[in-house]
Amino acid sequence: MKKTLLILFLSVALIAISAGGYFYFKREIATGPESTTAIPSSALAVITIRDFPAFHQKLKRETTYWDSLLTHPVFSDIKTLMPAMEAMGNEWLEQRQILSWPAIHFSFHGRSESDPLVLVTAGLPVSWDETILIALVTTGLKGYRHTAHQTKKGTLHEWQGGGDKPTLFCMLKNHLLLVSPHSHLVEEAATTLETATGINKDEAFSELRRTALDHADANIFLSFPLLKRWTESYLDPEFASPLSFITDQNGWMEADLDLRTETIRMFGFAIPTAQGSSLLSHLSTGNRNIPRYTELLPENCIAYLAIEGDSMLTPDLPLTGEDDLEHDQLMGALAGCATIPIDTGLALISFWQTADATTAVNRISNDQSPFIYKGVFNIYPLNEDTTWHPFSGFPLGQSKWKYVAALNDYLLIAADTGALMAVFDAFETENTLHRSIRYNNFMKDVAPGEGLMFYLNLPEIGKWLRPVVNEESDTALLHTTTLSKQFDAVTLQLKPQAHRWYLDLYAKYHPYRDEERKGKEVRSSEVTTVELDDALVLEPFVIKNHYDGTREVLVQDAGNQLYLVNGKGEILWKKQIPERILGEAIQVDRYRNGKLQIMFNTRTHLYQIDRNGKDVTGYPLKLSKPATTGIAVLDYDNNRDYRILVPLDGGIIQNLDIDGKTVKGWDFKAERGNIDQPPVLYSIAGKDYIVAVTDKGKPYFLNRRGEVRITLGEEVIISPENGITLDERSKDFVSTDSTGNGLRISTSGKVTTQTLPPAGSHHRMIYTQVSGDREPEYVIQDKQRLTVYTQNAETVFEFTFNQNVAFRPLALSFSSNNTRIGLLDQKSHHVYLFNANGSQVPGFPVDGYIGFRVQDLDRDGTFELITGGGGNRLLIYRLSKDVAN
């Protein structure tokens, strides 16, 4: 009975404790009303961030243009508020006053487009009161002086920073935190909360909030009136009016921000509440990506607008009767216009896909006196009484159409003959946007288009805006053009869906563009040039000087002459040999006295030389058969009892001791094919695994006698350009197959395939830790793309080159927690260096014609990058401290 009562008592106590804990924590995490209820209806834009610290850190870590962005006048209040909000929130978390960050809303209110006012609203736990708020905010905002002001709306708290620190005002109203650098905006928010007139009452805004994705980095809401004010602020009226088909709307658009290394994507919906133009109602929902007329546009095109629809862009033609031009002759599925640079500035040109371009030209032109360009291309004056809308004043160039021409099945109408001539030149030389590698690399990540798509070559935005902006916008323009040069391009698409539009914005940025790097002081600091007797043909080898511990550089020229060069660029000696080195130059301590010799092989001989370039006794040693790749030098027990493995023709691996004598007990020959990579030794749980791969992709895992140590459960073919490495954590062997999938081979012979995005058969892969999370990643160079994948096939970062690159990435360790990826683009003759997040190291790329090495040659804490400079030049870059850190 007592036992039963005890159990009953404990059960009741447990229920009581659970219920008490539930209601306690419910009260602690419960917040006040939805925070958008306090945002005044005057808001022109709202940004919602659900995990503010993570978002702020991601901005600083992955968006390398963030510091530049904060210099723009539009973000002056954001620059003030972000650090302050992060400091307050971190203090609240540290004091355990909140369990997680609440969603924060940044709303922007109009004073001017270049200097908006910002209000922050956030829901706080209902258990909070003024005392807790003051204590925590005061602690979080260290160095601020607090003053409380009593107002009709409640207590307005002022924190004065002094000096460069801004003044902030905040109020706790119905468990909502209201913060702004502007006191009147805080009071306006309090009034909005009392009168229930917040922005949440707007039907379009509320509907878009329901479509916003919770897992997005941020949700961005923009009002159509804001777009109108932007165009009126930045553009002259003549050029702003043609955009009225968008800006005359009322309502809102929402985009979910997806912030990644080198890319920004925003996708969402727009809900117009008043139709300002019928243009968008005509947009079709076909499936298109790159507009066809880019096959005519010059590669240096600055911007274009592509429209897909029925007949909404009908010309107002004065012709009647049999001379009337049928719409179908002019209107196909595609229409658009573009801005291109010409000698006198910028020019506008429009493109119309027609059934008969020549007939169309004859109907709308004055064909009495055509101008014949290059004896081939006819340019006609446009009839003076023919007008075209809505592009007659579109802000992509001049505002009046004057000339017309036909090319392929397109009708070309331009404001300047120079525009037509530029198109003809590009078409004749095939120097078009359609054939641009950079443009196509950008567009392959753009969603298939439908409706309206606007493309802008962002680095050239200054050329586009300057002819049309207001004089008062110069300061904002300067900041805008400076920031835009960090981007490749941007596209904005609008696609009709019932009563709303789907929108998709995509941008790709690079912190340092090629044309800017040439003039940057951060390029790479000093460079030493060493002149050789002949062209440099092999990547350099780094050799240790056993006397002082410094490193020296061994290179070979096209005449097969060897050079040893020190860190100062001084040639220490030269040595002539008859053939080119295969594989690596490897140092050994054959006499076990700390003095090192250099070993390497050519196709017919094995060499061993001392640090002065003299042959060691008994060397060079003629090989019994031609070598197929470089040697491997093994020291099984770290006792300097070396074994030299020499892959020979016929699939043989010869095993020699340090004197060049055959090691007894070793016997290996591949079943088919030759070993085309130096064998590699790995030790796992006290066992040695010698890994070799044939040119047919067959892997072998051998013991010290050349016997197969691992028998695979299934046939495995390694990709032709790659070897096998060891995952030190799982003790699995890792490689890729010819399709780019990851392969994991256990010591028991089990083979596991890791599905990765497809890659060409000749991709290059290394498996190394890049991101610092202690998990190795796949680093894959395939054609024009360098990509880093996690073991779960998630993309860490991706970089696209202008042409195919056939070079294996290098993992370069500058410290125990600082690994960077290096790569040579042999076509552009550039060496690239990437941070763990995919951004390029400042000052890179640098010139480089052959493979490279990075090493602290002089042991002074500063790294050098050694490569070829073209011809007979050896380059030794002394990297700045910032590059290495």
Cβ distance 301 to 457 under 8 Å? yes
Running DSSP on this structure, what letter comes out for residue 625? S
Edge-first strand order for the sheet with 571-576 is 541-544, 551-556, 561-565, 571-576
Token pair listed for 852 = 């490279």
Q: At 108, which amino acid appears?
A: F
Return the pLDDT at 203: 83
Task: Return mean pLDDT, the chain.
Answer: 78
Cross-strand bridge partners of residue 449: 288
Least confident of 513-527, 595-609, 835-849: 513-527
Closest CA to 226 of 396, 119, 109, 115: 109
Question: 335-365 as b/e, with b when 16 or more CB fall inside 10 Å?
Answer: bbbbbbbbeeebbbbbbbbbebbeebbebbb
Report in angstroms the alpha-carbon separations of 78 from 74, 144, 147, 163, 181. 8, 18, 23, 18, 10
Instruction: Report domain extents, the chain.
Output: 32-201, 274-316+326-511, 577-721
543 vs 465, residue with greater confidence: 543
Q: At 530, which amino acid appears?
A: V
Q: Which residue has the tokens 């307005």?
A: 156
Return the pLDDT at 565: 97
Average pLDDT over residues 292-312: 71
Token pair listed for 740 = 């780019």
User: Residue 294 and residue 291: Cα distance in Å, rounded?
Assistant: 6
Q: Angle formed by the axes of helices 52-62 and 76-94, to 10°?
A: 130
User: Residue 357 and residue 600: Cα distance in Å, rounded?
Assistant: 68
Cross-strand bridge partners of residue 155: 150
pTM: 0.50
Return the pLDDT at 549: 85
Token pair listed for 225 = 């009136």
Least confident of 185-199, 336-350, 569-583, 773-787: 336-350
Q: CATH homologous superfamily of domain 577-721?
A: YVTN repeat-like/Quinoprotein amine dehydrogenase (2.130.10.10)
176-180 and 168-173 strand pairing: antiparallel
Q: Over the stretch 696-718, which tens digit does the pLDDT of each residue have?
A: 999 999 999 999 999 998 999 99
675 vs 89, residue with greater confidence: 675
Q: Residue 163 — very low, low, confident or very high, per pLDDT cuts 50/70/90?
A: low
768 vs 315, residue with greater confidence: 768
Q: Over the stretch 737-759, which tens digit does the pLDDT of each residue have?
A: 999 999 999 999 999 999 999 99
Return the pLDDT at 746: 96
Cβ distance 169 to 177 under 8 Å? no
